Amino acid sequence: MKQALTGSGPGDLGRRLVGRRVELGLTRRQVADRAGMASGYLRYLEETPAVAPAIGTLARLADALHTSVAALTGGDVDLPPGRSRASRTAELVELDVEECWRRLSTHGVGRLGVITAEGVTILPVNYTVVDGAIAFRTDPGSVPSQVLGRRVAFEADRIDDVFRQGWSVLVRGRAREVTQPDAVRRLTEESYSEPWAGGRRDLWVRVDPVEITGRLIRERQAGG
Total domain count, the chain: 2
**113 and 214 assigned to the same domain:** yes
Q: How confident is the model at residue 51 (pLDDT cuts 50, 70, 90)?
A: confident
Q: Please indicate, yes or no, if residue 78 is contained in any of the structural domains.
A: no
pLDDT tens, position by position, 157-208? 988 766 677 899 999 999 999 989 998 888 888 776 666 666 677 889 999 9
For the segment 172-181, what is each residue's pLDDT rounded down to a tens digit?
999 999 989 9
Residue 79 within any structural domain of the chain = no
Residues 108 and 213 in one domain: yes
Contact 23, 71 (CB under 8 A): no
Q: Is residue 1 part of a domain?
A: no
Which is it for the CA torsion 59, 65, 71, 72, positive or negative?
negative
Let me know whether 152 and 214 are in one domain: yes
- pLDDT tens-digit map of 69-95: 888 887 766 666 655 666 677 788 899
- Provide the CATH number for the domain around residue 62: 1.10.260.40
Q: pLDDT > 70: what percent of the chain?
A: 82
Give the Å distances, CA to CA, from 189 to 128, 132, 181, 185: 11, 17, 12, 6
Longest distance between any two alpha carbons in the chain, whole Å: 60
149 within some domain: yes
Q: What is the pLDDT of residue 192?
A: 67
**Structural domain span for residue 64:** 12-73
Is residue 166 one of the residues assigned to a domain?
A: yes
Type and span of the H or E element at 70: helix 69-73
CATH number at residue 121: 2.30.110.10
